[in-house]
Amino acid sequence: MQGHSIGALSRRTGVKVTTIRHYEGRGLLPDPGCTGGGQRRYGDSELDRLSFIAHARQLRFDLDAIAELIALQETSHAAHGDGHRIAKDRIIEIRDRISRLRRLEAELVRVVKTCDGQSDGQPCRALHALADHQACEGEH
């Protein structure tokens, strides 16, 4: 029997079987059809595609962007500038998220600095600081 089982694909890529089926349903991975014995067998091209998808997901590309990248792989070289644009857009999204996380970190540092975590018989100052959104230094 030729090809890879869905379990083998899962083991080789670290992608769960249910996720592989989801990708097939979304059209990101072609449905291999069934052999005469009723088993699904995947070729090396499907393994490569699934590895591509898994890597893109690790980079936090959403499934729509991945579908667009896959479509670009199958087009002429003239359309490949779009791949560059998609990757640059992802960088912008990541930088925006990093900025938001830094603001969140600063706010949590401010809250934690309000007390030493010891009970002195008074209400918790960290809880008070959490309730005081006005003292916050920005949007997070």
Q: With bands split at pLDDT 50, 70 and 90, how would you rate the model's confidence at 136?
A: low
pTM of the prediction?
0.70
- Provide the pLDDT for residue 74: 79
Q: What is the pLDDT of residues 2-51, one digit of tens each?
A: 688 999 999 999 999 999 999 999 999 988 877 777 788 899 999 999 99
Q: What is the pLDDT of residues 54-65, one digit of tens each?
A: 999 999 899 999
Q: Kindly list the structural domains of the chain, giving each domain's residue range(s) and its CATH number in brackets, ordered by start.
A: 6-135 (1.10.1660.10)
- Burial grade of 3 (CB within 10 A; 0-12, 13-18, 19 or more): middle
Task: Return the biggest CA–CA distance within the chain.
Answer: 75
